[in-house]
Structure 1
Amino acid sequence: MEEYVERTISEIGEEQLIRLLVDPADAPSDVVVDNGDDAAVWTSFPGATVATTDAQVEGSHFLKTTPARSIGRKLAAVNLSDLAAMGARPRFALLSVCVSGSESADRLAEIGRGLRERLGEFGVYLIGGNVSRIDGPLVLDLTLLGAVDPLKTLRRSASIPGDGIFVTGSLGGARGGLEVQRRGALKAWPELERRLIDPTPRVEIGQRLSESGLVRAACDISDGLGRDLVRLLGPHGLGAELSELPVEPELERLLGDAALPLALSGGEDYELLFTAPNEHQAELMQIVRATGVSLTRLGTVTSNPSFEFRGAPIPAGYVHFAE
């Protein structure tokens, strides 16, 4: 039997690399010009168009040893989570790849498969992109486009004192996954592994919350509850008093009481954090739980611009570019 030899990007060239990455499925009916032209063309979305972009960089967001398919799936998930926080319906994606010539073509192909797989779960079509050669770590940048009712868009700016503060799912799982990854024991904690390398964006919940008209303000949790609470409320002179926290159960089994600080400050949970009038709590619980996801009322929006959990300051969470 002939021995298989892994190919590099330099060996297959740009055109073959693009074919490895783009969507082999037939384009949706609203696509006028598909992959392969100078630009993509599609008919206008109903409602307003929403766009986001997010990059994943090897060494910062994933490791050389991270499963390639999971890299692609997470790239999709972090962008999908942004649209979920707006209550939007995702539709199209554009991918930019900066890659060295020595990179494995098979690895890139598997990243592309994971990306298209995750996007496809939410009806998103990869409509085009760009590839560039660099002498450095692999960089993957995805732009996601979608549609939203402009009158029902979820945003960060409408909370008032006395509102309830709510969060979907559980917190701290991704941070716990990072801890066990550093110990070389990631496979022993499957839910922490999944939360770290293959998070679930709450797209359906975001759309349901948007349609309900019950939510005042919302964001997703990417840099930790503490940091994203400040982003949601701080610019408007508001604060928060929290009394409840849905810690990821597997993280509690791993760390016991030490799990609490990680749930407060750990990033990359990609849950939805939102505020709403307390009289809507029962209806909101019903809306979210109908999707099979839990919902927790964390506490209350305050007019005092401080952020506390059971009387103690909440850790700030991840700060980009901090030393």
Structure 2
Amino acid sequence: MSGGEFDFIERFFRPLAGEGALGLRDDAALLDVPEGRQLILSTDTLVEAVHFLPDDPAETVSRKLLRVSLSDCAAMGAVPRAYLLNISRPSGFDDLWFASFSAGLAHDQALYDVRLLGGDTTGTRGPLVLSLTIIGEVARGRAVSRCGAKPGDRLWVTGTIGDGAMGLMARLGEVPDADGYLTGRYRLPQPRLGFPVQNFASAGMDVSDGLVQDAGHLAHESGVGIDIEAEAVPLSPQVRALGGAWLETCLTGGDDYELLFTAPEEASDAIRQASRQSGLEATPIGHVREGSGVRVLNGAGRDVNLTRKGWQHF
């Protein structure tokens, strides 16, 4: 490590700064809010050896950090605009590592049309800690929240479930991953930006802590119960090839970053049309009911007993 904090910012992060960042030279950034729009803000933190493995490439760590926050924008039907970045840097992470980290951010800034506005850097004796705050915008009153699900709504999910959790298992050497697909899904989530969830969802969020647990968040915030049909949950061919013994891991593992949402039955055709137009599969996997909590049901309609519900942060 050399040159101090301001040299560190100058070399690795000033090239990423966009309009409103004031060259990362001031105490704060400036951001205009268009008339008729609202800002959405969300913060995510990644900790070394907790949310990524110490030998994960720096470029994928930075891209994952940005993408998990972009997924929050997608879940609310928002368009991402910019982000703030905080870094607590141990001495063991050298300039070469951060050059790759910065290159990863530059790649995804161009891919998703977002820019760096500012942040903070500090040293630490602990693990590397990375925190990113995403700033997005949505038409006033159109943001999707977790608290609108109604009995009779269908429960939908995009993409496939379990890839992230099984990607971690692959990284730990517990399952095979011959084509690298599962590892890729763990390292580089695919934020579902552009899928117009705000056009039909009564409630929604992204799947970050596990399908069952996150469905529980929707149920709790909406004051309803949710039934998940285990056999309807979409799995990738790579996960299916690993066998049914991993089903609970897929249902309760995190890191999928797919959209999970409820919608009235009459919105089903619109959802399927949006799925075709976006090229992103959306699958109905259950229903909203009166009551509380989440039930996972097998093909015979009986409860599937799970030993865990999902990722716990504490």
* Counterparts of 1:198 and 1:314, CA distance in 2: 31
CA contact (8 A) 1:186 1:192 kept: no
Aligned partner of residue 161 in structure 1, secondary structure:
coil
CA contact (8 A) 1:289 1:295 kept: no
> 1:203 — aligned with what?
193
CA contact (8 A) 1:172 1:262 kept: yes
Partner of residue 221 from structure 1, selected from 207, 218, 221: 207
CA RMSD of aligned residues (A): 1.8
* Counterparts of 1:179 and 1:246, CA distance in 2: 19
Aligned partner of residue 290 in structure 1, secondary structure:
helix
One-letter amino acid of the counterpart of residue 162, structure 2? G
Residue 312 (structure 2) pairs with residue 319 (structure 1): yes
- After superposition, the Cα gap between the structure-2 partners of 1:17 and 1:186, relative to the gap in structure 1 and judged at 3 Å, is farther
> 2:280 — aligned with what?
293
Deviation by residue 1:230-258 (Cα, 9 ceiling, x = unmatched)? 000123331122221101221111x2112
> 1:152 — aligned with what?
142
CA contact (8 A) 1:177 1:186 kept: no
Q: Unaligned stretches of 5+ in structure 2? A: none
- After superposition, the Cα gap between the structure-2 partners of 1:175 and 1:189, relative to the gap in structure 1 and judged at 3 Å, is farther
Deviation by residue 1:268-315 (Cα, 9 ceiling, x = unmatched)? 100000000111112101112322111100011111324222222464
Q: CA deviation at 1:32?
A: 7.2
Question: What TM-score do you get using the length of structure 1 for normalisation?
Answer: 0.89
> 1:73 — aligned with what?
63
* Counterparts of 2:17 and 2:187, CA distance in 1: 29
> 1:88 — aligned with what?
78
Residue 276 (structure 2) pairs with residue 283 (structure 1): no
- After superposition, the Cα gap between the structure-2 partners of 1:94 and 1:186, relative to the gap in structure 1 and judged at 3 Å, is farther
Q: CA deviation at 1:266?
A: 1.2
CA contact (8 A) 1:92 1:126 kept: yes
* Counterparts of 1:121 and 1:128, CA distance in 2: 19
> 1:4 — aligned with what?
none
Q: CA deviation at 1:35?
A: 1.7
- After superposition, the Cα gap between the structure-2 partners of 1:252 and 1:259, relative to the gap in structure 1 and judged at 3 Å, is farther
* Counterparts of 1:227 and 1:209, CA distance in 2: 20
Aligned partner of residue 121 in structure 2, secondary structure:
strand
> 2:167 — aligned with what?
177
* Counterparts of 2:17 and 2:3, CA distance in 1: 24
Partner of residue 249 from structure 1, selected from 223, 229, 237: 237
Deviation by residue 1:115-136 (Cα, 9 ceiling, x = unmatched)? 2322332211011111101111
Deviation by residue 1:121-167 (Cα, 9 ceiling, x = unmatched)? 22110111111011111111111111111221100111111100000
* Counterparts of 2:139 and 2:31, CA distance in 1: 19
* Counterparts of 2:84 and 2:208, CA distance in 1: 21
Could you tell which deviates more after superposition, 65-74 or 46-55? Answer: 46-55
Could you tell which deviates more after superposition, 235-244 or 43-52? Answer: 235-244
Q: Unaligned stretches of 5+ in structure 1? A: 1-8
One-letter amino acid of the counterpart of residue 233, structure 1? A
> 1:308 — aligned with what?
296
Q: CA deviation at 1:187?
A: 6.0
> 1:258 — aligned with what?
245
One-letter amino acid of the counterpart of residue 116, structure 2? L
- After superposition, the Cα gap between the structure-2 partners of 1:44 and 1:252, relative to the gap in structure 1 and judged at 3 Å, is same
Question: What TM-score do you get using the length of structure 2 for normalisation?
Answer: 0.91
Aligned partner of residue 44 in structure 1, secondary structure:
coil
> 2:24 — aligned with what?
35
